[in-house]
Amino acid sequence: MKNNTIISIQKESVLMMTEPKYDELEENNPHLDKDKPYPLSGLLVVDFTHVLSGPTCTRMLADAGARVIHIERKTGDDTRHMGPYIEDGSSEYFRICNAGKESIALDLKDPKDHALVEKMIAKADVVVENFRPGLMKRLGFGTDEMVKKYPKLIFASISGFGQYGPWSKQAAYDTIVQAVSGLMDVTGTPDGKPTRVGTSVSDVVAGIMGYSADCTRCS
């Protein structure tokens, strides 16, 4: 397997990948039609996202032609182990959220892996993350530090209650955001209890807005 191809997706593990080849960024992604132009072709995205909101953003960036390198923990992204599973044993959820991306399994606390990530960020156009506020800084990849070192870098952080506000440290799963925003109060019957929208709409919308913001800054 060449180290610039999309890693095969497995249920139990992540195949390791060496450092990407940056001189191939102008090539269209393998999942895209090579005969069509794409608006973000040639851009490199370093993807620290997980679950749904962040992966939605970076999946859209990949669909628009960007090369997206998805950084996963050594044991693989949690959603690799979420059903339903398709015939080859891989997670349908993971495939939907991460189609068109390349994956690399790293320990961000390991000095060697940390240095590799910094090297990728130095060559990147966009970084996207949706950890709880403060985690990227503790890992040594804080927004202020990275943007200062790499002024042309677009650094997108997706969170439920912002990066600096009084609720910034609060968990923000989709159900919580639907309740706090009032969406559940306007859903359901007039005389009934607040009702959750069936899909994870706040996660998906957050991802779409992140994609829109990235595209605006890229233009």
DSSP strands (E only) in the chain: 44-47, 67-72, 102-105, 126-129, 154-157
For residue 73, the one-letter residue type is: R
Taking alpha carbons only, the member of 174, 182, 173 closest to residue 199 is 174
Give exposure, 74-93, as e/b (b: 16+ Cβ within 10 Å).
eebbebbeeeebeeeebbeb
Catalytic residue among 47, 125, 174, 203: 203
Q: What's the CA gap between 10 and 150, in Å, rounded?
A: 35
Active site residue 203: yes
The SS3 of residue 59 is: helix
* Residues that are catalytic: 203
